[in-house]
Amino acid sequence: MKYAKKIGQTLLIALFWLSVWHIAAWRVGKPALLPTPWAVLVRLVELMQTAAFYKTTLTSLWNILLGILLAVLAGCVLSMLTACSAVARRLFFPVMSVIKATPVASFIILALIWIGSARVPTFITILIVLPVLWTNLDTGFTSMDPKLGEVAKVYRFSFWKRIRLLILPSLKPYFVSACRTSLGLAWKAGVAAEIIAMPRNTIGAMIGDAKQYIQTADMFAWTITVILLSLVIEFVFAALFDKATEKTGKKARVYAEH
């Protein structure tokens, strides 16, 4: 009953904003400036009936997911390094600050010169996700309860057991928060990189073409595709991570209570 009520509220909110969109499009009266929700939906269905739509979507999905995975791996390794070494933390902190402060467009243009258009979306995704992940995990390491070290000594945990039962559960909320924040940013930055770099068979290139030829319904349809992909990936990530760490968290609490 609780979930049904939540779903009903979500549908009502969506209906409200779709109505606002429809009224705004009706008032403007120019589909080239603002198409109606129905026109965008029809165009999206038309695109989904073509093989090119799925090829384009999978290409962008691969580029951005690869960037996210590489950034997560690099962020985890880097956060462990900076947690163990104060010198390493002082060395990498200004680098992360510069990356966060530099406009994405500047990195995109530089990446076009350095590595070519095809690799730009993945490179930009890494630059966006890495500082967010490292910052959260660094905060998690510095906020870790010192009593966990005492628990590890009392039960004579091995290095890997200490990581699996004590460190990972403590870092989980910071890691999940970083991933949820960076997933949306990764899609925005990755697609923006595609729009500027225009690599072939990507969503960003399709949005760029739609803008050039004033195909506003196409631009809205591809944008909705990006939003849906981002939401689906965030949901899948949260479900998988919760399932993978649930048993670990229970074991850690048992050891801590004893």
The ranges assigned to domains in the chain are: 1-30, 35-257
Give the predicted TM-score (pTM) of the model: 0.81
More confident: 45 or 181: 45
The pLDDT of residue 255 is 47
The pLDDT of residue 162 is 66
More confident: 125 or 239: 125
The pLDDT of residue 29 is 85
**35-257: what fold?**
MetI-like fold (1.10.3720)
Nearest one of 247, 249, 253 to 172, comparing CA atoms:
249
CA pair distance 88, 145, nearest whole angstrom = 22
More confident: 239 or 248: 239
CA pair distance 208, 184, nearest whole angstrom = 20
Q: What is the pLDDT of residues 184-223, one digit of tens each?
A: 888 888 999 999 988 888 999 999 999 888 889 999 999 9
DSSP 8-state secondary structure symbol assigned to residue 117: G
Q: What is the mean pLDDT of residues 148-160?
A: 60
What HEC string does 208-231 produce? HHHHHCCCHHHHHHHHHHHHHHHH
The pLDDT of residue 256 is 47
203 touches 60 (CB < 8 A): yes
The pLDDT of residue 252 is 47
Return phi, psi of residue 31, to 5°. Answer: -55, -30
Q: Is the pLDDT of residue 145 over 80?
A: no
Given the structure tokens 């399709």, which residue do they identify?
A: 206
Q: Is the pLDDT of residue 31 over 80?
A: yes
The pLDDT of residue 70 is 94
Q: What is the pLDDT of residues 4-22, one digit of tens each?
A: 677 778 788 888 988 998 8
Q: Is the pLDDT of residue 251 over 90?
A: no
Nearest one of 133, 119, 138 to 194, comparing CA atoms:
119
The pLDDT of residue 168 is 73
Rounded to whole angstroms, what are the CA distances from 33 to 45, 88, 172? 20, 51, 45
The pLDDT of residue 85 is 84
The pLDDT of residue 221 is 94
**CB crowding 37-64: b at 16 or more within 10 Å, else e:** bebbbebbeebeeeeebeebbebbbebb
Q: What is the mean pLDDT of residues 98-109?
A: 88
Q: What is the pLDDT of residues 33-54, one digit of tens each?
A: 899 999 999 999 999 999 999 9
Q: What is the mean pLDDT of residues 244-248?
A: 57
CA pair distance 203, 189, nearest whole angstrom = 12
Within 29-50, residue ranges assigned H as helices are 37-48
The mean pLDDT value of the chain amounts to: 83
Using a 10 angstrom Cβ sphere, with 0-12 exposed, 13-18 middle and 19 or more buried, the burial of residue 66 is middle
